């Protein structure tokens, strides 16, 4: 069992200042009308991750729930994470995972779906992180650009899965 690599667990669910040295990424993507339930299934069942190019998640990873640990792989990089919170309300559902020992970043990433009054769905990603490994620290601002590109790929994958009947 690995340990979380940061102390402010749940920081993606809170409003307010972020810990010193951490950067914030926010992305909101419309998924379309009537996509909420399919998107939620793909999100909690790791389908979004599996459908994203270069990302691998073990097929036997349990549904996202607090305490569930997952090893996300991107090519040769290993990124162990643990689900730290979930939300499951009528018009809002999602979860966040935090980084575990061995992850190249330190922090938390949240994936939340919002059902809007017109029955359309928005997908929101919030990441609060800082480099942890020497190679991510060396990347500097380029590392944040890669993180943004990854978030956009997650959103594209979930968009595709949510629109599939």
CATH number at residue 150: 3.30.530.20
| Digit-coded pLDDT (tens) for 70-112 | 999 988 999 999 999 999 999 999 999 999 999 999 999 999 9
Tally the domains of the chain: 1
Determine the angle formed by the axes of helices 141-163 and 36-44, rounding to 10 degrees: 130
With CA atoms as reference, report the closest residue to 112 among 97, 127, 95: 95
DSSP state, residue 4:
B
- Residue 12: inside a domain: no
Domain assignment present for 14: no
- What global pTM score does this model have? 0.95
37 lies in some domain: yes
Q: Is residue 11 part of a domain?
A: no
- Residue at 129 is within a domain: yes
Domain that holds residue 72: 23-163
């Amino acid at each position: 069992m690995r340990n979380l690599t940061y102390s402010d667990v749940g920081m993606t669910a809170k409003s307010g200042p972020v810990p010193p040295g951490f950067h914030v990424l926010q992305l909101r993507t419309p998924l379309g009308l009537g996509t909420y339930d399919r998107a939620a299934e793909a999100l909690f069942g790791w389908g979004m991750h599996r459908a994203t190019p270069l990302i691998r998640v073990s097929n036997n990873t349990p549904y996202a729930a607090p305490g569930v640990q997952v090893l996300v792989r991107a090519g040769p990089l290993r990124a162990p994470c643990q689900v730290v919170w979930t939300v499951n309300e009528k018009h809002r559902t999602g979860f966040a995972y935090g980084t575990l020992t061995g992850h190249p970043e330190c922090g938390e990433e949240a994936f939340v779906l919002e059902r809007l009054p017109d029955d359309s769905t928005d997908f929101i990603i919030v990441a609060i992180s800082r480099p942890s490994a020497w190679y991510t620290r060396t990347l500097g601002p380029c590392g944040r650009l890669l993180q943004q590109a990854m978030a956009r790929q997650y959103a594209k994958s979930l968009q595709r899965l949510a629109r599939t009947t």
